Structure 1
C-alpha cells in the first residue's frame, strides 16, 4: 500500500470510530428510554456490539480490503475517543430532542386521526340518535301501556287481553334489543 492509501484507510477508520461513538450514544439513549433491566441490558449490549462489529468490518472491507493494521485500530480508538470526549453530550441532547420531537409528532398525528374519525362518524351518530331514541321512548311507553292495559283488562276482558298485551310487550323487547347499541 502506498502512503496515500494508508492515509485514506486511517481517515476512514477515524470516521468509522466517530460513527461508532455516535451509534454508542444512540444505543445509550435508547437503553435509558426503554429502562432496560440487567437481562435486557445484557442482550442489548450483545446485539449492539455484534451489529457494530458487522458494520465496522464491512466499512474496513470496503475501505482497505479488510486489512487490519495498527493504524486501523488507532483510527477506530481515536475516532471513538474524540466523539466521546467532544461530541457525546451534544449528540445525546440531539438524540433526545429528535426522539421527543418524533414521538410528539406521532401523538399529534394520532390525535388528528381520532378527531377526523369522530368528525366523520358524527352525522351517523346523530341520525342513529334521532331514529333510535324516539323508538326507544315509544317502546317504553308501549311497554308501560301494555302492562296497564293488561292489568285493567284482566278483570274486565279476561286472560285474552292480558296474553295479548304480554305478547306485544315481548315482541317489542325483541325488536328494540336489536336497535339498542351494545355497551
Structure 2
C-alpha cells in the first residue's frame, strides 16, 4: 500500500470516526427522549454498537480492503474525539431541532388531514343528522308509548298470558321428557 493510499485510508477512518460520533449523539438524544430504563439502555447500547461495528467494517472493506492497522484505530479514535469535543453539542441541538420539526410536521399534516376529512364528510354528517335525529326521536316516542301501553295492559293481559305460557311450558316439558326416553 502506497503512502497516498494509506493517507486516503486514514482520512476515511477519520471521517468514519466523525460519523460514529454523530451517530452516537443521535443515539444519546433518542435515549434521552425515550427515557429508556436499564434494560432498554442495555438493548439500545448493544444495537448501537452492533450497527456501528457493521458500518465501520463495511467502510474499512471499501477504504483499505479490510486491513486493520494502527492508523485505522488512530483515525477512528481521533475522528470520534474531534466530534465529541468540538461538534457534539451543536450536533445534539441539530438533532433535537430536527426531531422536533419532524414531529411538528407530522402533527400539522395529521391536523390538515383531519380537517380535510371533516370538510369532506360535512354534507354527509348534516344529512345523517337530519335523518337520524327524527328517527331517534320517533324511536324514543315509540319506546315511551310502548312502556305506557305495557303498563296499562299488564293488568288486563297478564292473567291470560301467564295461563297460556304455563300451558306451553308444560307441553314442552312433556315433549322433551318423551324425547329423552326414546333415546
TM-score by length of 1: 0.77
Gaps of 5+ in 2: 158-183
Q: CA deviation at 1:127?
A: 0.6
Asked if residue 95 in structure 1 is aligned to residue 95 in structure 2, the reply is yes
Higher relative contact order (CA 8 A, sep 6+): 2
* SS of residue in 1 equivalent to 2:68: coil
Q: CA deviation at 1:113?
A: 1.0
Q: CA deviation at 1:120?
A: 1.5
Whole-angstrom distance in 2 between the partners of 1:109 and 1:59: 38
Q: CA deviation at 1:55?
A: 0.4
Q: 1:4 to 1:111 in 2, by over 3 A?
A: same
Whole-angstrom distance in 1 between the partners of 2:149 and 2:46: 80
Q: CA deviation at 1:13?
A: 0.5
Whole-angstrom distance in 2 between the partners of 1:43 and 1:2: 41
Match of 2:162 in 1: none
TM-score by length of 2: 0.77
Whole-angstrom distance in 2 between the partners of 1:150 and 1:72: 92
Q: 1:3 to 1:133 in 2, by over 3 A?
A: same
Whole-angstrom distance in 2 between the partners of 1:146 and 1:66: 87
Asked if residue 129 in structure 1 is aligned to residue 129 in structure 2, the reply is yes
- Alignment size in residue pairs: 158
Match of 1:44 in 2: 44
Match of 2:80 in 1: 80
Whole-angstrom distance in 2 between the partners of 1:151 and 1:41: 68
Match of 2:58 in 1: 58
Whole-angstrom distance in 2 between the partners of 1:74 and 1:144: 87
Asked if residue 2 in structure 1 is aligned to residue 7 in structure 2, the reply is no
Q: Which moved more, 1:142-151 or 1:129-138?
A: 142-151
Structure 2 counterparts to residues 97-176 of structure 1, below 5 A: 97-141=97-141
Gaps of 5+ in 1: 160-183
Match of 2:67 in 1: 67
Q: 1:143 to 1:95 in 2, by over 3 A?
A: closer
